[in-house]
Structure 1
Amino acid sequence: MSEAFSMLRLLTQARNEGTIVWLCNIGAEQYWHPQSRGIPDREEDRIVNRIEEMNLLLCRPQDVLILREQPDPAFLAELRRLGFDIPAILTVAAPDYQTPISELVLKDEGLLQQLKEKVQEIGQVYFMPYAVTMLEEEIAQICGLSLIGPSSETAAIVNDKILNRQMAEELQFPVSAGIVSDSLEELKKNYPSLKGASGKMILKEPYAASGKGLYIIESDEQCNALFARLSRLAARRPKHPWMLEQWVDKSADVNVQLFVQTDGTVDVFSIKRQVLNGTVYIGSQMPAVLDSEVIESFQAYGEAIGRYLHKLGYHGVAGIDSMISKDGVIIPIIEVNGRFTLSTYLSFIPHVLGNKKMFSRYFRVLTNEPVFYADLCKQLESEQLLYQPESGQGVILYTSGTLPNVSISGDERYMGRVFALIAADDWTEVERLSALLEQSINKLTDRMAVSR
């Protein structure tokens, strides 16, 4: 890999330099730490895997983006209207909605050959997947791509919540009161002594994503019921590690995005305020409405975390989840994601739209008819909500494949998610547009309600 590679530089002032192959391989955790998934949710898998279209928000015209299928032409046209660049889009020959995309790529000799030819034509071609597992390493090796990111072994180590806590302690960062236990039985013994004044706690498994593997405990009765349920699972793996922490009442959730270069240089390229529903990410506020000294603190924490990751052999994108307690204490590490996050894909939108106040959010939608991108944009336009470059405000729908326009179950139920970005010159207008957008989506779902 070239020592000179800087994602921040190539996505801002040097956008005409180099060629990047992008791949949004969401679900890498199953390769780092294989666990039983239980009964798969085919509809949910389809939606999550089609989030890959967010990658278009980062691409330059000379880049290559690998997707399951071509995006809705109306979506591409809208991105062009807004000033985004559209790369060459390659799709796998035999797409399906459940198989991880890197597995599909490795089965597609034609696609692999196209990537090889791109390397032969240009020389050095960078490869930036969402995350690095053994599959992306294999793709890079077969095609001669310069993989940007850590080894799959290092990525697996970094994406460990227990290591993340140990990292914070070694860096002498503030942490919430908590313990790490090697078994559920040990956890039960330690639980009474750890309860804080509120009694509210959070139990974490070391390897999980998107709010999974997190259990909020608010009473002894709830704790006993949870331990009883987990004990049945623990019978199969008695030496499974757990982490139990006192709940911290927060004034803000904050996400720090950074890129660790191979020489140890750390670029902190985005600090966002996060909106969560419990432990699940809902959206981002950009730029974060925080005091300047707080922003400076997160900048410094991000640089320190990046240097620590570099010592572990890590380089590439990392997303750090942090929080500020009600009494103003910054807890810099809740979790380190040694990969892209959904927040990463939004980080460079200001370089297209300019200095706007922006808020991203998404809506789960269930309808009895398919909903297509052009129709939803037309609805927003009729309500004067669709983003207009002339006014510099409005709503941008930044995926098409996640919309409820495919019925996996075969009946008249269409499940999907609407990913939207609200932009304006001030937060009052963002809040007004956000409220109107919610009303618009509710009207859509009421009109197309599924009878139960």
Structure 2
Amino acid sequence: MSQTFHLIEYLTVNRDRGILIWILNIGAEKYWNRVHAGIVDRSEEMTVNRVEEMNLLLCREQDVLILRERPSESYLAHLKRLGFATPTILVPEETDPLTPISELVLKDEQLQKTLSNIAKDADDVYFVPYAVTHLEESIANNCGLQLVGAPSGVNAVVNDKIFNRHIAEQLGLDVCQGKVCHSVQEIRDEYERLTNGEQRFEKIIIKEPHGASGKGLYIIESPEKLSAILARLARVARSHEDAKWLVEGWYLKKADVNYQIYVAPNGEVDVFSIKQQVLRDTVYIGSKAPAELDEVVLEAYHDFGKRIGNYLYSIGYSGVAGIDSIITDDDLIIPIIEINGRFTLSTYISFIGHVLGEQRLYSRYFKLVSDSPCDYDELQRVLQQENILYNQATGEGVLVYTSATLPLRLDASSGSYTGRLFTLILARDWEGVEAYNERLEHVVQHFASLRLPASSR
């Protein structure tokens, strides 16, 4: 890869330069490490796969975006009216809602030939996946593409919560009280120490090394809950001699903060998009930007990001990484709770200001359940009727930024249509954001109640 390539510059000051070939291959964790999927919700998995549309928020006009299905034309037209570019969209010939997108690409020789021709016709072409696994490496090799990101083996190491703690310790950063445990008995002993020690944590969290979106995380608030979880983990320990878990105290927090870093091929580190995350327990439901942090704290986060990025580069990492952190009630910053060595959903909304202008921004997503399908056009009409649809003239309102994740398909197991609503709430100040957010929540609740039969409410 050219040493002059810099993804952030291509997305901001050099938007006319080169061609970026994008793919949002969510679910990469299962290719890096052994991740126990548990009971798979097929309807949920189909919805998650369609978040690939949010990649449109980053694309430039000359770029190429690979999707499993072309978005609705009204959705594309609406984004274009707002100032977002419409790239060339390529769709695999044989597609289905469950097969990972990169597997679909590797099954399509014609699509790979098209990508090869793009690479041959221009020197400045880069392949930018959400994450790099052996699948994306195969696509790059087959098509002669320059791949943006670290080798899959390095990614597997970086996306390990136990290794994340090791990085923090190596850099001398504050870490949560706790330890790495290699047996069920060690977990039990650490629970006793954390809940009965000097700080007396009311809860602890047990973390499996790998997993995303809250999977492999267990919040323990009682001995009874601990016993139930340990029974499950004991089965894992019996079949995996090298099993280990990270056990940490659960802190009362002032803020959950996510900051993104980009490690360029030459080792330059950029810290960008510092956001306050909104979590429900351990599951991400939205972000607020810019983060409501004072200048001293913001400067500290830039320093943390630079140090972490330099460390990652030293072990062969490059590309985007999202870092989750917390600020405790007593103002202690724990800079690394988890490192995602890949894009995160937050990455895709990190450059909205370059299109819509700098505003206060709150991303929210909701799970929607309905007794009939709900498409993008219908939802736009509802938001318009409630007078909260994003208005380009005022720069305020609610913007729905995916269409294919809405309740469009019947979930045979429940008999309902299920999906996710991804929105951006924009306003000049946080009071305005909160006002729109309250009205949006009311619309979502009212909208669902109108469409569900009484027995489902």
C-alpha distance in structure 2 between counterparts of 1:63 and 1:333, whole Å: 33
> Is 1:175 equivalent to 2:178 in the alignment?
no
- Aligned counterpart, 2:38: 38
- Aligned counterpart, 2:188: 188
Structure 2 counterpart SS, 1:172: coil
CA contact (8 A) 1:369 1:412 kept: no
CA contact (8 A) 1:253 1:323 kept: yes
- Aligned counterpart, 1:438: 441
Shift of 1:396: 0.4
- Aligned counterpart, 1:245: 248
> Is 1:144 equivalent to 2:147 in the alignment?
no
> Is 1:215 equivalent to 2:221 in the alignment?
no
CA contact (8 A) 1:154 1:314 kept: yes
Structure 2 counterpart SS, 1:284: strand
Structure 2 counterpart SS, 1:342: coil
Structure 2 counterpart SS, 1:50: helix
- Aligned counterpart, 2:386: 383
C-alpha distance in structure 1 between counterparts of 2:424 and 2:285, whole Å: 12
Structure 2 counterpart SS, 1:264: coil
C-alpha distance in structure 2 between counterparts of 1:278 and 1:410, whole Å: 26
Residues 36, 427 of structure 1: alpha-carbon distance in 2 compared, 3 angstrom cutoff: closer
TM-score (norm 2): 0.97
- Aligned counterpart, 1:299: 302
Residues 174, 374 of structure 1: alpha-carbon distance in 2 compared, 3 angstrom cutoff: same
Structure 2 counterpart SS, 1:139: helix
Shift of 1:408: 4.2
Q: Deviations over 1:281-336 (max 9, x none)?
A: 01010111111111111111111110010001000000000110001111100000
Shift of 1:186: 2.9
- Point out the more displaced range, 28-37 or 274-283: 28-37
Q: Deviations over 1:368-424 (max 9, x none)?
A: 110010110011111111111111101100000100011242875100000000001
Shift of 1:194: 3.1
- Aligned counterpart, 1:324: 327
Shift of 1:117: 1.1
Mapping 1:384-423, distance limit 5 Å: 384-409=387-412, 412-423=415-426
C-alpha distance in structure 2 between counterparts of 1:404 and 1:368, whole Å: 9
Residues 91, 174 of structure 1: alpha-carbon distance in 2 compared, 3 angstrom cutoff: same
The residue type paired with residue 309 of structure 2 is: G
The residue type paired with residue 84 of structure 1 is: F
- Aligned counterpart, 1:166: 166
RMSD: 1.3
Q: Deviations over 1:341-375 (max 9, x none)?
A: 00000100011111100000011010011001011
The alignment covers a number of residue pairs equal to: 452
- Aligned counterpart, 1:289: 292
> Is 1:58 equivalent to 2:61 in the alignment?
no
Q: Deviations over 1:162-215 (max 9, x none)?
A: 000010011111111111022223323443223341331110000011111111
- Aligned counterpart, 2:103: 103
- Aligned counterpart, 2:367: 364
- Aligned counterpart, 1:258: 261
Structure 2 counterpart SS, 1:243: strand
C-alpha distance in structure 2 between counterparts of 1:35 and 1:259, whole Å: 26
C-alpha distance in structure 2 between counterparts of 1:331 and 1:37, whole Å: 29
The residue type paired with residue 206 of structure 2 is: L
Q: Indicate which of 275, 280, 283 corresponds to 2:283.
A: 280
Structure 1 counterpart SS, 2:297: helix
Mapping 1:10-49, distance limit 5 Å: 10-49=10-49
Shift of 1:239: 2.9
- Point out the more displaced range, 226-235 or 177-186: 226-235
C-alpha distance in structure 1 between counterparts of 2:186 and 2:34, whole Å: 24
CA contact (8 A) 2:191 2:204 kept: no
C-alpha distance in structure 2 between counterparts of 1:290 and 1:187, whole Å: 35
The residue type paired with residue 449 of structure 1 is: L
- Aligned counterpart, 1:235: 238
The residue type paired with residue 377 of structure 1 is: Q
- Aligned counterpart, 1:267: 270
C-alpha distance in structure 2 between counterparts of 1:407 and 1:350, whole Å: 36
C-alpha distance in structure 1 between counterparts of 2:81 and 2:426, whole Å: 16
C-alpha distance in structure 1 between counterparts of 2:264 and 2:300, whole Å: 21
Structure 1 counterpart SS, 2:65: strand
CA contact (8 A) 1:324 1:331 kept: yes
C-alpha distance in structure 2 between counterparts of 1:271 and 1:44, whole Å: 29
